[in-house]
Amino acid sequence: MRLAHWAVNAPFRPLLLAVLTSSFILPAHAADLVTITRDALNNNAALASARAEFSSVEAGRDVVRGGLLPQVNASGNVVHNRQHESQSTVRTNDSDTVDIPGVGLSDDRYNTASLSLEATQALFNAVTRQEVNQAERQIDQQVYLLAATEQQLLIDVVSAYFDILRAHEVLDARMAQERAIGRQLEQAREQFEVGLIAITEVEEARASFDQSRADRIAAESNLQVAFELLEQLTGRRYAAIDALGDMPIALPSPSNRDYWVEQAIERNPQVLAQRAGIELSRVGVEIARASRLPSVQAFANYQYAESDSDLVNGHDSSSQVGVSASLPIYTGGSTSASIRQGTFLLESSQYDFESQRRTTIQQVRSLYTQVSNNVETVEARQQAIVSNRSALEATRAGYEVGTRNIVDVLNAEQNLYNAIANYAEARYDYVVNLLALRQQAGLLDVAAIEEVNAWLTGDTVNFTLPESGEADAYQRAMDIGAPPTPGA
């Protein structure tokens, strides 16, 4: 069943028509998730391109619709003519040829002007009417594709934002680990110098310290890369962003996987775009079939011409009003071939829809399972920190009384900081997967971003900016600039 244009567009109009203001001035305070989302919706180049493409498709409907409206054409010309005739009259007398001078010679210069007006109006044109219908279906599909682009940008921004916070917490853990193992290395050196331990334990501590230093360097690199990815999405550079505080860790609401699957089938913009593609292909078949029908149009024309020639002087005019019709009788089989071609394209679009539907269902089920597992994982990772901290304290006590060696202490410290990093990973996996589930269900919007934004605290994650001149140059390079002027 073909969906009405207004019904297709209604669920996505609020997102499409949202007007968000922003500037390219570097924020003086930390930016939160809503602010960065607003920047992305206004400044992202890929989204700007998708919006322009949507406007282009809308304009295409008016282009096709013009074929059903009156067509008026005018043409005219002004010509200067020169006619010279040098042939003479020849008369034959018996066997002699006699030229009669002056007879048949002419030299005429004159001007002519003409004007033609023609107007036509389609009375019946099944092909053009179906092409207008096709343009409407293209707009329907483009609405969903634009909504999908916007939702993908939202999840990309969320992922980039929390990747920064994730990388920052992991870096904190790696820096604390490096300091702790560094102190352990210094203590081992002192104990070796007084003969309390063997050199092998010093080397063990040194190896652990070198590894912790490498882990810290990698974490610093990950943090910088995460910041730069956010800049690429928004076209802006941020000095600091708000950190994530305590948040509720719960199953998706409602906690029913079938509900999320149903929502995805009904609301996922990629699924709806493929469904609209079926309607678009079906209209393509109708266009091919309509080419067998006659076309009828009314026409009227007027011609005017004048001349100042010596031979013909004055003007003449004529006009016509009538109706014309044309009917294709035989087109070499191209019409039947076009119908077969359109039928196969329709079949292809139906398979594309089924493929997208299956993919979406699988992704929704997987994300629901991941979020459910994340809920348990966060709790387990949090408990692992407590357990590993107790284990480290017990190992250190054993080391002091001689029942444990330094390798045991180093391993316990490594386990503790790994547990801290894993807990951070689990928390951010939960948030990103929860929003990704909403995206696949077609439920990711600014309201969902605002709900997550409420979990942020006043604490900030800072990032060192380059010097002023370099920052200005970088900002200019990241700025996508003003929208292009139409027609320029």
Burial class of 240 by CB neighbour count within 10 A (0 to 12, 13 to 18, 19+) = middle
Please, are residues 201 and 406 in contact by the beta-carbon 8 Å criterion?
yes
Say yes or no: 465 and 424 in one domain.
yes
Long-range Cβ contact pairs of 218-223 (< 8 A, separation 24 or more): 218/174, 219/167, 219/170, 219/171, 219/173, 219/174, 219/175, 220/171, 222/167, 222/170, 222/171, 223/164, 223/167, 223/168, 223/171, 223/463
Nearest in space to 75 (alpha carbons), one of 298, 297, 302: 302
Encode pLDDT of 231-261 as tens digits: 889 888 888 889 998 889 999 988 899 999 9
Q: Which residues contact 188 (CB under 8 A, 6 or more apart)?
A: 197, 201, 202, 204, 205, 406
Low-confidence residues of the chain: pLDDT under 70: 1-29, 87-106, 310, 312, 463-488
- The reported pLDDT for the residue numbered 88 is 60
- Name the residue type at position 225: V
247 plus 273 within the same structural domain: yes
Residue 390 is assigned to a structural domain of this protein:
yes
pLDDT in tens, 195-211: 777 788 888 888 888 98
* 99 contact partners, CB below 8 Å, separation of at least 6: 88, 89, 90
Residue of 204, 246, 272 whose CA lies nearest to 382: 246
| Residues 81, 190 share a domain | no
17 with 105, same domain: the answer is no
In which domain, by residue range, is 98 found? 72-124+296-327
The number of domains in the chain is 2
Q: What is the pLDDT of residues 364-422, one digit of tens each?
A: 999 999 999 999 999 999 999 999 999 989 988 998 888 888 888 888 888 898 898 89
- Measured CA to CA, the distance from residue 415 to residue 424 in angstroms comes to 14
- Mark whether 245 and 355 lie in a shared domain: yes
In this structure, the strands spanning 106-124 and 295-308 are antiparallel
- Domain shared by 149 and 180, yes or no: yes
CATH number for the domain spanning 137: value is 1.20.1600.10
Domain identity same for 62 and 197? yes
Contact assessment for residue 171 and residue 221, using Cβ atoms and an 8 Å cutoff: no
The 3-state secondary structure of 298-362 reads: EEEEEEEEEEECCCCEEEEEEEEEEEEEECCCCCCCHHHHHHHHHHHHHHHHHHHHHHHHHHHHH
